């Protein structure tokens, strides 16, 4: 027969001074010291055939109602096969399990040396960590801010979805990368023994049945300006002052990627040979890439060289931001582009513009065009061009490209001479 509960009253607890244990029922007791002044709550139970006692706190600070709630919680743990005293000790013990923020920072630090491009670390920190400037000041929070203070063994599917759902529809590519990075951090935490069980950020067979596929949301390739519009755009660009406009024009002339231009260092430039050699660690494919420089590209380099620090040994950026130690941001180039071209064009899209121009308006072999873009895919002939570099063939092609994009735009019958001059000469 079960023992009756709630035998005691609040008045009894406050006034009783009789030493000993006074049962409230269900294992809960009010224990009074021999002198009658000290009162405490205690919970008795049996575990593996042995009597155990768990303190619930002094009666002076733990009310009868609260003591009953604690005893009830202990009984529920026992019903689930859990020793309440061990559970209490585990809860009071300082946790050695890292938070997601600490685990993310540790994972980034561990993996960064293996990443070919330094921008990968910045991208991981932008999504997982907190971004700080050279003086340690916080400049931005990552997308996973709500996860950072959670112990990694407390992160469940709901917590991951709360982060992803906020950007899944609006920023599908970023969201997909974020999911993969969260999964990687939690996998590393599992390998380190800090969590167990399935990864709540896993896609296949888990989040894939909750969220739409990222590829169905993606906006496709980088929007590219039609190549026929390039002369008019470059003409406008040459009227604009500023490092962003010069870097963007250099990007157009070289058909290089935004990061390759923005992070270029003077040690990579050989003005005498009119050659720019991008080191393997800065290339997407991980192979050194030589870029022939046209006369206008060299002219741009002479302009920006005026800002090169005295005594520079080659470490200085070719296109520095206003903070000379930091490269221009991708958004700087995008802002210049959209201010003077409108639409949703991207700087990366100029590579597509170049490729379309080669195919539509020239007789240059496609293999040479692909080599100019540092693309590794293709058939044996194309790969042979890549191995052989095809530098001189590319030099001829890039000269033709520069001649095209820097030519004054065709004059329509409605333009006045003044308008034509303002547009591009």
What would the pLDDT profile of 95-122 be if each residue is shown by its tens digit? 688 999 999 989 998 998 887 666 778 7
Please give the pLDDT value at position 180.
Answer: 94
Structure-token match 């030519």, residue found = 407
CA distance 112 to 367: 34
Determine the Cα angle at 133 with ends 127 and 135, to 5°: 145
Domain 10-92 has CATH 3.30.160.390: yes
* pLDDT, tens only, 267-297: 999 999 999 999 988 888 788 999 999 999 9
Please work out, in degrees rounded to the nearest 5, the angle formed at the alpha carbon of residue 413 by the alpha carbons of 412 and 415. 70
Beta bridge partners of 327: 320
Whole-number pLDDT of residue 133: 47
pLDDT at 126 over 90: no
Supply 116's token pair.
């070919």
Which two tokens mark 350?
């100029």
Give the model's confidence band at 421: pLDDT under 50 very low, under 70 low, under 90 confident, else very high: very low
Q: Does domain 100-217 have CATH number 3.40.190.10?
A: no
Q: Say what the pLDDT of residue 418 is.
A: 32
* Residue 199, CA atoms < 13 Å, CB-side half-sphere: 18
Task: Domain ranges for the chain, please list them.
Answer: 10-92, 100-217, 227-424
Average pLDDT score over residue span 233-240: 93
Q: Which of 124, 317, 97 is nearest to 196 (CA)?
A: 97
- Whether 10-92 shares its CATH topology with 100-217 is answered no
The span from the CA of 416 to the CA of 136, in Å, is 55
What is the percentage of the chain residues whose pLDDT exceeds 70?
85
Tens-digit pLDDT profile for residues 297-356: 999 999 999 988 888 888 899 999 887 678 888 888 988 998 888 777 888 889 999 999
Q: What fold characterizes domain 227-424?
A: hpI Integrase; Chain A (1.10.443)
Residue 239, pLDDT score: 92
Pairing outcome for strands 39-47 and 20-25: unpaired
């Amino acid at each position: 027969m079960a023992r009756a509960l709630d035998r005691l009253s609040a008045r009894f607890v406050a006034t009783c001074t009789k030493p000993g244990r006074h049962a409230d029922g269900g294992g809960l007791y009010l224990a009074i010291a021999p002198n009658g002044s000290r009162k405490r709550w205690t919970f008795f139970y049996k575990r593996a055939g042995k009597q155990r006692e768990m303190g619930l706190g002094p009666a002076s600070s733990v009310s009868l109602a609260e003591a009953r709630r604690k005893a009830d919680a202990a009984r529920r743990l026992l019903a689930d096969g859990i020793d309440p005293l061990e559970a209490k000790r585990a809860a009071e013990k300082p946790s050695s399990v890292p938070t997601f923020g600490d685990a993310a920072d540790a994972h980034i630090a561990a993996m960064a040396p293996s990443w070919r491009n330094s921008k990968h670390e910045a991208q991981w920190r932008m999504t997982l960590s907190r971004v700080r400037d050279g003086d340690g000041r916080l400049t931005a929070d990552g997308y996973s801010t709500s996860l950072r203070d959670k112990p990694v063994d407390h992160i469940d599917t709901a917590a991951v979805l709360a982060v992803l759902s906020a950007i899944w529809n609006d920023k599908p590519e970023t969201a997909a990368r974020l999911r993969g990075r969260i999964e990687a951090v939690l996998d590393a935490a599992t390998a380190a023994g800090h969590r167990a069980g399935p990864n709540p950020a896993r896609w296949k067979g888990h989040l894939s049945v909750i969220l739409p596929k990222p590829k169905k949301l993606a906006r496709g390739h980088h929007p590219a300006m039609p190549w026929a519009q390039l002369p008019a755009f470059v003409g406008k660009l040459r009227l604009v002052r500023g490092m962003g406009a010069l870097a963007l024009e250099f990007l157009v002339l070289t058909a290089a990627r935004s990061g390759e231009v923005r992070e270029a260092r003077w040690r990579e430039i050989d003005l005498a040979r009119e050659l720019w050699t991008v080191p393997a660690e800065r290339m997407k494919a991980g192979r050194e890439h030589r870029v022939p420089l046209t006369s206008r590209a060299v002219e741009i380099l002479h302009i920006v060289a005026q800002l090169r620090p005295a005594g520079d040994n080659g470490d200085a950026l070719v296109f520095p931001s206003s903070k000379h130690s930091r490269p221009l941001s991708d958004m700087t180039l995008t802002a210049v582009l959209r201010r003077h071209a409108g639409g949703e064009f991207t700087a990366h899209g100029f590579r597509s513009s170049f490729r379309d121009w080669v195919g539509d308006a020239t007789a240059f072999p496609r293999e040479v065009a692909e080599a100019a873009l540092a693309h590794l895919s293709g058939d044996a002939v194309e790969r042979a061009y890549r191995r052989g570099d095809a530098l001189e063939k590319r030099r001829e092609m890039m000269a033709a490209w520069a001649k095209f994009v820097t030519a004054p735009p065709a004059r329509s019958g409605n333009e006045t001479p003044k308008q034509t001059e303002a547009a591009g000469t």
